Amino acid sequence: MFSLGLLLFFAALPSCYYDNEELLYGKGAPCDTTQARYSQKVAAILQSNCTGCHKQGNASGSIQLDDYASVKACESGGRFLGAVRQSQGYVAMPPSGKLSNCDMMILEKWVREGAQNN
């Protein structure tokens, strides 16, 4: 019975871990998400990490991330954050490794607030 309890405890750990932003990103990590807007931060993050492979004329996976309408279309398709978070069932993006936690927090906040053209 004890070992079963222990097993359940460890089985439950990952979900707690991923649900907790503070744990995931570190308490008080210096990340300014106040400007999580398309024009302020999002476009720049995508420019630095994504548009090399996702732009007009080189739209890998038929995905373009070099203008708002295309990014919005990708986000609406539901695979944007999954790819960036490198969640199971998605092709991990960018292929070279994860974005920084801060960049990810900014993208997540922007999506959470409606992925607006702001």
The residue among 78, 80, 87, 76 whose CA lies nearest residue 45 is: 80
Cross-strand partners of 59: 54
CB of 58 to ligand HEC, least distance (A): 9
Query: Mask: binding to ligand HEC, 34-73, rule CB under 6 A, as x and -?
Result: ---------------xx-xxx-----xx-x-x--------
Touching ligand HEC, residues 74-103 (CB under 6 A):
74, 79-80, 83-84, 90-91, 93-95, 99
Instruction: Kindly tell me the burial class for residue 90, based on how many C-beta atoms sit within 10 Å of its own C-beta (0-12, 13-18, 19 or more).
Output: middle
Regarding 105 and contact with ligand HEC (CB under 6 A), the answer is no
Residues that bind ligand HEC (CB under 6 A): 49-50, 52-54, 60-61, 63, 65, 74, 79-80, 83-84, 90-91, 93-95, 99
